[in-house]
Amino acid sequence: MIDSSHLPLMDIALAEARAALATGDVPIGAVVIGPDSKVLATGRNEREAHGDPTAHAELVAIRGAARALRDAERGDSWRLEDCTLVVTLEPCAMCAGAIVLARIPRVVFGAWDGKAGAVGSVFDILREPRLNHWVEVYPGVKEAECAALLTDFFRARRHT
């Protein structure tokens, strides 16, 4: 069930996704919300922009959130406990692993990724019972809008 409080957060992630288009990156955006419901960090795909295969939107946002907590002089700053990650596309295995390791308790995402999704489509890393941390998952938030952004991007690439 979609929580209406997730809608404005997905709007922030969608704005980041659109910004990725300027560098030719796949339009995926993310935002990490802190325990006080304020934005800790945003991220967008930057693989093309930086030539970094790990520069997925989720990892950019997670790194920024950990930095923000460290700069606020909070202990254990790498643990993003009580935070929420909002992302326009279902996280892949790499990003799902980072979510578990960062101890993020909630993930909200837009479109499903039937080819590489690791939150229920292909794998379900975030709810793997053998891991030491499990995550609440809220899928399908603004799903059509998130999916259309990706579909339009790949359609344009095939025709150029």
**pTM for the predicted model, two decimal places:** 0.94
Known catalytic residue at 58? yes
Q: E strands along the chain, which residues? A: 29-33, 39-44, 84-89, 106-111, 136-138
Q: Is 92 annotated as a binding residue?
A: yes
* Catalytic residue from among 16, 46, 58, 90: 58
End-to-end alpha-carbon separation of the chain, Å? 39
pLDDT at 69: 87
pLDDT at 160: 65
Q: Is 56 annotated as a binding residue?
A: yes
CA-to-CA separations, 62 to 30, 49, 81, 130, 140, in angstroms, rounded: 9, 18, 12, 23, 21
Q: Is 95 annotated as a binding residue?
A: yes
142, 31 in Cβ contact below 8 A?
A: no
pLDDT at 3: 82
pLDDT at 46: 98
Mean pLDDT by 10 residues, the chain (160 residues): 86 98 97 95 97 98 93 75 96 98 97 97 95 94 98 88
pLDDT at 159: 79
| Angle value at C-alpha 125, between 87 and 76, nearest 5 degrees | 70
